């Protein structure tokens, strides 16, 4: 029995010794493995540092930097262009769907250009910021219930109400016109026919309109519808006007009405912008030399495309633009804003104007 017990104790002791030995071996193996890993890491780090030391640094010249910057800017512009074109197309689609005209749709998209339709073509004319600009603000323009326009500064009306008339308004009751608040009237002296002959003709109602307006206390200016194709003809037109207005006291400017006629035989239609400008200056200078205030009447097409506007910088302008938007950026003294106006004393439509300065 004692022998059996001794054998059992010996067996247990042997097993425990083996387990302890195995644990010691495992621990030793782990320690060796960690040491090997540490050595490997140190070696790898050393090799990396040696490799880095052997790698030359990246050096960029100014030209390299400029090229990289240019490429980045171009990439950004191209991306913006793609995104911008999509937004523009959406805007165009939306405005046209709302009933806007092509012109009304295009103009806000080109703030630094005048968008002008002339001869069946859309012209995108760069604004010449070195020319005189008006400083008026759209929010200062008031539209009355009657449709008339007024321009205010500090809530005070600073414009004068005016009309322009010819034989097409028939017999005018100038007393009623004055009572309706009209302060001045431009009266047509005559025209040069736009056919081949180009005959100068006195307006049938000129004398009656001048005397009637003056009697009613309305200030008057005059205009002549020109179709001269040479400077000599322009001076002939001016001489005709000066002869007709000589008996009267003219308060407002003497105007050269410069228009592109729709008829195919329009005498001035074939002129170049330079020729048309030469003719216009010849008329205006003749009026100026006679002691009157010269003025040019024209619309956006004429001023933006058909004449050399920079050469007309020194002359007062009467600008024709039908609507309430102050689209034209250049300076002008008078604005003809509708040809469908109504004034007491005149049967039918009449042109309405506001003047930003008085004479």
Convert the pLDDT of each residue in 9-60 to its tens digit: 555 455 455 554 455 444 544 454 555 556 655 665 666 566 545 545 556 5
3-class DSSP assignment, residue 298: strand
Mean pLDDT confidence for 156-166: 98
Residue 52: CB atoms within 10 Å: 8
Domain boundaries, the chain: 1-55, 62-126, 138-355
In the chain, pLDDT over 90 holds for what percent of residues? 65
Backbone angles phi, psi at 307, to 5 degrees: -130, 170
| Mean pLDDT of all residues in 228-240 | 98
Quote the pTM value: 0.76
263-288 pLDDT, tens digit each: 888 899 999 999 999 999 999 999 99
Domain 138-355 has CATH 3.20.20.80: yes
The token pair at 127 is: 């604004």
> Residue 187 pLDDT > 80, yes or no?
yes
Both tokens assigned to 128: 């010449």
For residue 297, the surrounding DSSP H or E stretch is strand 294-299
Q: Which positions ≥6 away from 285 have C-beta within 8 Å?
A: 294
Measured CA distances, 23 to 11, 29, 303 (Å): 19, 10, 104
User: What would you measure as the largest C-alpha separation in the chain, in angstroms?
Assistant: 164
Q: Which residues contact 225 (CB under 8 A, 6 or more apart)?
A: 188, 190, 191, 192, 257, 259
């Amino acid at each position: 029995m004692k022998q059996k017990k001794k054998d059992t104790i010996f067996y247990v002791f042997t097993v425990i010794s083996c387990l302890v030995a195995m644990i010691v071996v495992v621990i030793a193996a782990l320690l060796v493995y960690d040491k090997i890993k540490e050595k490997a890491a140190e070696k790898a780090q050393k090799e990396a540092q040696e490799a880095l030391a052997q790698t030359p640094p990246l050096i960029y010249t100014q030209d390299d930097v400029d090229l990289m910057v240019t490429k980045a800017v171009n990439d950004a512009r191209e991306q913006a262009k793609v995104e911008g074109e999509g937004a523009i197309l959406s805007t165009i689609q939306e405005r046209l769907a709302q009933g806007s005209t092509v012109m009304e749709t295009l103009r806000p998209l080109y703030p630094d250009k005048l968008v002008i339709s002339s001869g069946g073509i859309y012209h995108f004319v760069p604004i010449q910021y070195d020319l005189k600009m008006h400083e008026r603000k759209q929010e200062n323009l008031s539209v009355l219930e009657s449709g008339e326009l007024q321009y205010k500064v500090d809530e005070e009306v600073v414009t004068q109400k005016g009309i322009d008339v010819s034989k097409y308004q028939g017999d005018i009751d100038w007393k009623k016109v004055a009572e309706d608040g009209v302060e001045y009237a431009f009266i047509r002296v005559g025209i040069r026919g736009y056919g081949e002959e180009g005959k100068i003709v006195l307006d049938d109602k000129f004398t009656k309109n001048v005397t009637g307006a003056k009697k009613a206390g309305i200030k008057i200016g005059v205009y002549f519808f020109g179709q001269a194709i040479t400077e000599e003809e322009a001076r002939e037109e001016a001489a005709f006007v000066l002869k007709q207005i000589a008996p009267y006291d003219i308060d407002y400017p003497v105007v050269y009405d410069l228009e592109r006629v729709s008829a195919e035989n329009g005498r001035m239609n074939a002129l170049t912008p330079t020729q048309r400008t030469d003719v216009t200056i010849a008329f205006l200078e003749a009026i100026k030399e006679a002691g009157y205030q010269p003025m040019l009447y024209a619309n956006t097409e004429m001023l933006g495309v058909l004449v050399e506007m920079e050469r007309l910088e020194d002359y007062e302008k009467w600008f024709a633009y039908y609507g309430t938007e102050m689209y034209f950026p250049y300076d002008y003294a008078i604005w003809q804003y509708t040809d469908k106006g109504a004034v007491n004393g005149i049967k039918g439509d009449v042109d309405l104007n506001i003047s930003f300065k008085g004479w």
